[in-house]
Amino acid sequence: MAFEFRVLAEDTSTPARVGRMHTAHGDVETPVFMPVGTQATVKTLTPDDLQAIGTSIVLANTYHLYLRPGSELIAGLGGLNQFMAWERPILTDSGGFQVFSLGHLRDLDEDGVTFRSHIDGSSHRFTPETVVRIQEELGSDVAMVLDECTSYPATEQETRDSFERTSRWARRARDAHEAPEQALFGIVQGGMHDDLRRESAGQLVDLDFNGYAIGGLSVGEPKELFYEMLSVSASELPRNKPRYVMGVGAPEDLFEAVVNGIDMFDCVLQTRLGRNGSLFTADGRVNITNSRFRTEPGPVDADCDCYTCRTFSAAYLHHLFRAEELLAYRLASLHNVRWTIRLVEEMRERIRRGTFASYRSEFLARYRTTDSGVREQQRARWQETRRRKARELLARKVYEDS
């Protein structure tokens, strides 16, 4: 039996649940946070690090691995698990988000999408069938269908056209999928319209995928709207299949996902913040480069059991970041990923006890969330950096070919 999902426990007062996902590379208890290993590595962390902090499944990126080093090369070297020396399960996304974020460097049609590589400007083509084939070559335990990530904001007609195309592509991906040990998940779209989200979910459920993801959220919309669309989407998905919300990693968002019965989530936030000196604590994120940490003898978070907090003072981390030592990025990333995994472990335990709702209230009453304006500034800077790099690479390619 290659893939199976079972609900093991349910909270007494919310849709939150504990489950177990069986895959060819082992079992995964849910809810589960999946660290992102975009290019077959979680930035700064080794497979041993990940196992030691309780990582049960990682996410890798189809778009990036297709471009470099290539799925055929990885297949020839024994598949993604052997290539990256990771013995536990792997989920590969479809690369759809990355392709659609290229903006003017991609051209969409009914059959698929043509795009320019962000690496060298070369032209490539993704279709629902080729994306399935690439993920089969990678050998991941869970593969995702190619979807169109609806932009925000978008009109209702634009959103309908987008999610219906995603549904047609999902059927083609399902029909093309030939790896019996690899699960295939459909992706719910529908933008910020609750009726379209319900339609999208219904069309995908009819296709009977192994599991279902919720896409097109956390793309710039207000938190309240994000949470509303998350709840609507989750309510339409079957109880006996795993539910996955894509690209979500802030603690408050994880609680919102779990309280709506979501089983899986991933995000680059933990390692990206870590490399920039922003660390999770029970009271909210802190910037370790701030002068108040220069002489702090205690750990960043006294309640955290990660190697960083068990071994080093906040003053030492402050010093490493100020001195721009490479160890700083590893220790901070190690802390943020373990801190998040431990948070989700506690969620599972509280669901089993039937006290998840009270735990959620206690945590959120203490945790200081990041101001929405700051989040949007950070997102805008990241997106502009991506666009600028893509423009520069394309201009270089055109110049070299002229």
Per-residue pLDDT of the chain (402 residues; tens, 9 = 90+): 589 999 999 999 999 999 999 999 999 999 999 999 999 999 999 999 999 999 999 999 999 999 999 999 999 999 999 999 999 999 999 988 898 888 888 999 999 999 999 999 999 999 999 999 999 999 999 999 999 999 999 999 999 999 999 999 999 999 999 999 999 999 999 999 999 999 999 999 999 999 999 999 999 999 999 999 999 999 999 999 999 999 999 999 999 999 999 999 999 999 999 999 999 999 999 999 999 999 999 999 999 999 999 999 999 999 999 999 999 999 999 999 999 999 999 999 999 999 999 999 999 999 999 865 655 565 555 556 555 655 565 555 544 554
**Cβ atoms of residues 299 and 314 within 8 Å:** yes
Order of strands, sheet of 142-144, starting from the edge strand that comes earlier in the sequence: 32-35, 264-267, 243-245, 211-214, 183-188, 142-144, 90-93, 58-61
CA distances from 1 to 47, 127, 181, 238 (A): 26, 29, 8, 21
Query: Among 356, 344, 314, which Cα is nearest to 332's?
Result: 314
Cα of 19 vs its chain's centroid, Å: 19
Residue type, 104: H
Q: How many whole angstroms separate alpha carbon 217 and alpha carbon 44?
A: 27
Q: Which two tokens stand for residue 375?
A: 């989040």
Residue 365's CB is within 10 A of a number of other CB atoms, namely 7
Which domains are present in the chain? 4-267 (3.20.20.105), 275-351 (no CATH)
CB 191 within 8 A of CB 159: yes
Beta bridge partners of 107: 114
Q: CB–CB of 277/328 below 8 Å?
A: yes
pLDDT at 228: 98
pLDDT confidence of residue 101: 87
Other CB atoms within 10 Å distance of the CB of residue 18: 22
For residue 138, give the nearest of 56, 48, 78 by alpha carbon: 78
Which of 250, 234, 259 is closest to 351 using CA atoms? 259
Q: What pLDDT score does 390 carry?
A: 55
Residue 191 near residue 157, CB atoms below 8 Å: no
Distance CA 197, CA 112 (A): 22
Is residue 266 part of the annotated active site? The answer reads: yes
- The residue behind tokens 């955290």 is 304
Listed residue (285, 220, 221, 218) closest to 257, CA to CA:
218
Kindly state the helix (H) or strand (E) to which residue 366 belongs, with its residue range. Answer: helix 356-366
Please pick, among 11, 93, 147, 253, the residue that the annotation labels catalytic.
93
Single out the catalytic residue among 11, 49, 253, 266.
266
Strand partners, 172: none
Q: What is the DSSP letter of 92?
A: E
Residue 154 per-residue DSSP state: -
Structure confidence at residue 40 (pLDDT): 98
Q: Where are the alpha helices (DSSP H) in 119-155?
A: 128-138
Residue 371 annotated to the active site? no
